[in-house]
Structure 1
Amino acid sequence: MPAKPKLHSPEDDLAFMRSIVEGGGRPPMTLAVSYLAGGLLYGLQCLFHVGQAAGLIRWPDLANLVFVALISVSFLSILTWAILKDRKDGLSQRGPMAARTLSAAFSATGMANVSVILIFAIGAVRDNDFAIWLYYAAIVFALQAAAWYMAWTLKRRGWMLATALGGWVTAVALGVLVREPLWYLGVCTVALFLLFALPGWIMFRDARAGSRAV
């Protein structure tokens, strides 16, 4: 006699659909590494500039240029590795809808950041005012705050909300401090470590844990 098929309750069906949409998918390695490496490397660069502004670091101009260039080269190299790893694992084509939505949101934020950098760079050169260029960091942190708030609404993880609020406070602080180089650099340094590197480490840990589970 054939076994009687098991009937699912509406609650079971709802839970199943929710698992498809929300899921427990791990974040893409590219996203995790871009925050972790970017926060650490550019936080180190800001700390270096704090030392310069305070008169503690007095390097030749060429050495300063090489140091700054190495920061960007290192970041791009690490980011390239992460992108290739994600492509190899195929994470851009699979995963829960919430995870893919978050990835798309942060990618869109990154595109907006590039536009902001170009706008303020051109304005600073045209008006011969370096302070105009410094406003770009405030806008970047504001955009990041918006992205993290969206992440919190999807995932409801406390550290995401804390990162969003921290980004908003940082954006306002940087906008106010553009004429105060030492304070500006100090805020940037702390924010890069706390609002980029730390969330990046959390996502990197989750990404590695997920890859081991596969």
Structure 2
Amino acid sequence: MIENIKGVSPYLIEGIQLTLLITIVGVLIGFVIGAFIGIGRLSKNKLIYSFSSIYVETIRGTPILVQIFFIYFGLSDLFGINFDKITASIIAIAINAGAYIAEIVRGGVQSIDKGQWEAGRSLGLTSSQTMRYIIWPQAFKRMIPPLGNQFIISLKDTSLFSAIAVNELLYQGKQFATTTFVYFEPYFMVGVFYLIITIPSMIVLRMVERRLDV
């Protein structure tokens, strides 16, 4: 058993590096998407509101695995747009996380008392300046816990990329198992590696929450 754990570890270390890369880059891009879409969901402009709402409901209403296949296979078949596996994976995480982050942003902004907007206007600030200097800093503080949870969710969602043969953590474990016909140790260690990332992430998240008193 120990020998099998030692044997699978190099595979999993390689896989976890790619898993983290896809997750971090994807969620960062997703945050940018989510910030704009979330604010769009609060817009009084019907076109902006409608576009933002359709995006959120479409992405949240379909499984991420379907989105992965659409980006990697569908776009190539229909439009001739070809992404390599890693790029397709990052795009899938970004688009998927962006929809959920949009709702986090919307909820965070709406949680700020309306009196804060009035305070901005009384200081002679425009709506965009009020958002930037008064509303957003307070709202972002409240967004931190759900954003941390979304990071962990997106991290675990990367396991689905094994369906398009991305060499992430789960795929590497499967490769070792298929090659050696040993199954317990690879999948056990895949779970351990996920916990090695998620548990410290949750601890840091709780520390940040207490520090910011959110």
Question: TM-score, length-normalised on structure 1?
Answer: 0.31
Would you tell me which structure has more helix in proportion to its own residues?
2
Question: TM-score, length-normalised on structure 2?
Answer: 0.31
